[in-house]
Amino acid sequence: MRELCLPAGLRPDEVSELDRMIQKKQQVKVDQYLFHEGDIAQAIYAVRVGSFKSFRLREDGVWQIVGIHLPGELFGMDALADQHHRVSVQAMETSNVCALPLAELASLSIRIPTLGRQIMRMTSRELNTSYENHELLGRRSAQERVALFLCRYADRRRNSGLKADSFDMAISRQDLSNYLGLQLETVSRAFRQLKDSGCITASRSLLEIKDINKLRELAGFCDKTTDYAYQQ
Q: Which residues bind its own copies (CB under 8 A)?
A: 38, 54, 56, 58-60, 62, 64, 66-67, 77-84, 86-87, 106, 109-110, 113, 116-117, 119-128, 130-135, 137-139, 178-182, 220-222, 227-231
Beta strands of the chain (E only): which ranges? 25-28, 33-35, 43-49, 52-57, 63-69, 74-75, 88-91, 95-101, 166-168, 200-202, 206-209
Q: How would you class 194 by CB atoms within 10 Å of its CB: exposed for 0-12, middle for 13-18, buried for 19 or more?
A: buried
DSSP letters, 96-116, are: EEEEEEHHHHHHHHHH-HHHH
Find the part of the chain contacting DNA (CB under 7 A) among 5-13, 110-118, 153-161, 189-197. 189-197
Partner that binds at residue 186, options its own copies, DNA, none, CB closer than 5 to 8 Å by kind: DNA
Specify the residue, 117 or 195, whose C-beta has the smaller distance to its own copies.
Answer: 117
Separation of alpha carbons 172 and 74, rounded Å: 22
Instruction: Answer for the pair 46, 4: CB distance below 8 angstroms, yes or no.
Output: yes
Instruction: Answer for the pair 28, 34: CB distance below 8 angstroms, yes or no.
Output: yes
**Residue 187 identity:** V
Q: Work out whether 114 is an interface residue with DNA (CB under 7 A).
A: no
Q: Exactly one of 99, 164, 202, 212 binds DNA (CB under 7 A); which one?
A: 202
Q: Work out whether 174 is an interface residue with DNA (CB under 7 A).
A: yes
Closest CA to 209 of 160, 148, 159, 161: 148
Partner that binds at residue 89, options DNA, its own copies, none, CB closer than 5 to 8 Å by kind: none
Beta sheet of 63-69, edge-to-edge order: 33-35, 88-91, 52-57, 63-69
Minimum distance from CB of 5 to DNA (Å)?
A: 29
> For 227, phi and psi rounded to 5 degrees?
-55, -55
Q: Exactly one of 142, 162, 164, 212 binds DNA (CB under 7 A); which one?
A: 142
Partner that binds at residue 160, options DNA, its own copies, none, CB closer than 5 to 8 Å by kind: none
Q: Exactly one of 184, 214, 216, 232 binds DNA (CB under 7 A); which one?
A: 184
Q: How far apart are the first and last CA of the chain?
A: 15
Find the part of the chain contacting DNA (CB under 7 A) among 12-20, 34-42, 128-136, 137-145. 137-145
Specify the residue, 39 or 144, whose C-beta has the smaller distance to DNA.
Answer: 144
Q: Work out whether 222 is an interface residue with DNA (CB under 7 A).
A: no
Q: Work out whether 197 is an interface residue with DNA (CB under 7 A).
A: no
Contact residues for DNA, defined by CB under 7 A: 139, 141-143, 172-174, 181-189, 191-192, 202-205
